[in-house]
Structure 1
Amino acid sequence: MSFRNKIIVITGAGTGIGQACARRLAAEGARLVLIGRRAAMLEAVAAETGGLALAGDAASSDDWQRMLVSILQHYGAIDGLVACAGGMGQGDILQTDDAQWQQAMAANLGTAFASARACLPALKQRRGSIVLLASIASLAAGPGVCGYTTAKHGLLGLMRSLARDVGPDGVRVNAVCPGWVRTPMADEEMQPLMAHYGDSLDQAYQRVTADVPLRRPAEAHEIASICRFLLSDEAAILTGASIVADGGASIVDVPTLAFTRI
């Protein structure tokens, strides 16, 4: 159990990839801190994994001051941070008002920034590791998601800045860039396709991955396995890296797709 007694903080831990990370790391002996805004969901994951559930906004410095006190009182240290908290930023630039823009920045970039800043002093003491959950939206732009795309691009800049600055302290910082992953948030994103085409949920996922080389979305536990690797000593030389986990979606040469229809 390579994570036995390691203290790992996970934001966005109540659902999706964060929940899957909690399950995977708990199975390997980690002692978990589970952070999210929805207390009931966190408590359910805590009951399953034995983690410490702390309800709060990962983008809030005030909340982090309170949560950090609880973490250090309970465990006394932090060995790793997995920043999974995020959300959508729907709409093109003309459809995005100031409040929506700020919400997208806070949910997708502010959460990672505030979490890393709060945990870094403790991580330096243990020469720990940070994993940021980015997206293939960190590498390319989908339609009508201006806030989300911009924030996810910024997340890679944050990862690189952190990796450069804290590397001399022995802290590693990496990012994972998933494509479609079957999570409750992605299920919601399938709803317009289901309504328009009359698809089932499975059919909608098949539609959005029709041109992905592996022809399927990821499962949350598959992304959790990558996060687990990046946190582990097996990745001791990896820092400043962006691991793309998209079934091959980002390698597809879009202008040649017409030839596959022949």
Structure 2
Amino acid sequence: MNQGSTTQGALPLAGKHALVTGGSRGIGAACAQALLARGARVTLAGRDAGSLAAAEASLRVLSPPGADIAIQVLDVADEDSVRAGFAAAAGRFGRIDILVNNAGQAAAAPFGKTDAALWRRMLDVNLTGTFHCTQAALPAMLEAKWGRIVNVASTAGLTGYRYTAAYTAAKHGVVGLTRALALEVATKGVTVNAVCPGYTETDIVRDAVANIVAKTGRGEDEARAELAAGNPQKRLVQSGEVANAVAWLCLAESAAMNGQSIAVAGGEVM
């Protein structure tokens, strides 16, 4: 097993193995970069092998020399896929010390037009996926008496947004899961926290902008400004800003942070 370069050995997460779901783009890729910069070995997990390979290539250019990066194809909504994928990742880099549950989907629809299929899809990926991945990673953390679980939720998990009932319910569920599990493991060396981004410059927001333009006829700039208006800073959050919060929660000196849901949203939620 490659333990990384001498330079990495002085970094705060050297020797730790982090697995990031939804790791091929956006917040997931930014989290991977932030963890690699702090010395962790990182497995990028997701459903699309091509996208994961492209992300791995990009991260190798941005990361310290000797950084350990691997990809793992899996579907967070499929328990068997998660368990097989996590076992393969652990066989490659050792037990998973840090789990970033970032994989997610967002879909907008009025409640009356939210059918059972959309409801199930939002819960399967955003909430049940977090459950499957956490169950797969937690036993080894408990055995080692050290672990960090960070769930990427949303400000939608802290407040309500119209036309996103299924997504908002799922993200509230992620926050609730975070709080409940944090209490269970509080004396076992494992912390469980959530990071709740506001509207962030990602594919999800680009899709939301396109949806607003298509349905209202507004221009793209006007649609983006509408999404940014809820942020007191009047801007979209950047993926790197979310990733820095995630990486900080993974540090040894952040051990007192447990069961928290940190909004990265410019003051939108206080």
Q: Does 1:178 align with 2:197?
A: yes
Q: Does 1:99 align with 2:109?
A: no
How many positions carry a matched residue from both structures? 250
**In 1, distance between residues paired with 2:16 and 2:137?**
14
Match of 2:181 among 162, 171, 176: 162
SS at match of 1:190: helix
User: Could you state the TM-score of these two structures normalised by the residue count of structure 1?
Assistant: 0.90
Structure 1 residue runs of 5 or longer lacking an equivalent are: 252-262
Q: Does 1:32 align with 2:42?
A: yes
The equivalent of 1:82 in structure 2 is 100
- Structure 2 vs 1, CA of residues 151 and 250 (structure 1 numbering), >3 Å: closer, same or farther? same
Counting only pairs closer than 5 Å after superposition, residues 19-58 of structure 1 correspond to structure 2 as: 19-47=29-57, 48-49=59-60, 50-58=68-76
**In 1, distance between residues paired with 2:239 and 2:83?**
30
- Asked if the contact 2:198/2:231 (under 8 Å) is kept, the reply is no
**In 2, distance between residues paired with 1:199 and 1:92?**
22
Structure 2 residue runs of 5 or longer lacking an equivalent are: 1-10, 61-67
> Offset of 1:130 from its aligned partner?
0.3
**In 2, distance between residues paired with 1:183 and 1:234?**
30
Q: Does 1:115 align with 2:115?
A: no
**In 2, distance between residues paired with 1:179 and 1:72?**
32
Q: Aligned letter for 2:115?
A: D
Match of 1:204 among 202, 223, 229: 223
> Offset of 1:203 from its aligned partner?
4.2
**In 2, distance between residues paired with 1:207 and 1:245?**
18
> Offset of 1:99 from its aligned partner?
1.6
The equivalent of 1:233 in structure 2 is 252
- Asked if the contact 1:8/1:82 (under 8 Å) is kept, the reply is yes
**In 1, distance between residues paired with 2:173 and 2:90?**
29
**In 2, distance between residues paired with 1:212 and 1:15?**
23
Q: Aligned letter for 1:164?
A: L
SS at match of 2:36: helix
**In 1, distance between residues paired with 2:180 and 2:134?**
12
The range that moved more, 141-150 or 218-227, is 141-150
- Asked if the contact 1:89/1:101 (under 8 Å) is kept, the reply is no
> Offset of 1:17 from its aligned partner?
0.4
**In 2, distance between residues paired with 1:101 and 1:211?**
25
CA root-mean-square deviation = 1.5
> Offset of 1:232 from its aligned partner?
0.8
**In 1, distance between residues paired with 2:28 and 2:250?**
14
**In 1, distance between residues paired with 2:142 and 2:106?**
31
The equivalent of 2:3 in structure 1 is none
> Offset of 1:211 from its aligned partner?
4.6
The equivalent of 1:148 in structure 2 is 167
**In 2, distance between residues paired with 1:197 and 1:249?**
27
SS at match of 2:269: helix
**In 2, distance between residues paired with 1:162 and 1:211?**
30
The equivalent of 2:6 in structure 1 is none
- Structure 2 vs 1, CA of residues 204 and 90 (structure 1 numbering), >3 Å: closer, same or farther? closer
Q: Does 1:8 align with 2:18?
A: yes
Percent identical residues: 35
The range that moved more, 41-50 or 94-103, is 41-50
**In 1, distance between residues paired with 2:107 and 2:187?**
35
The range that moved more, 156-165 or 65-74, is 65-74
The range that moved more, 13-22 or 188-197, is 188-197
Once the two structures are superposed, what CA deviation does each residue of 1:136-191 show, in whole Å capped at 9, x if it has no partner?
A: 10112211111101101111110011101122221100001111100011111011
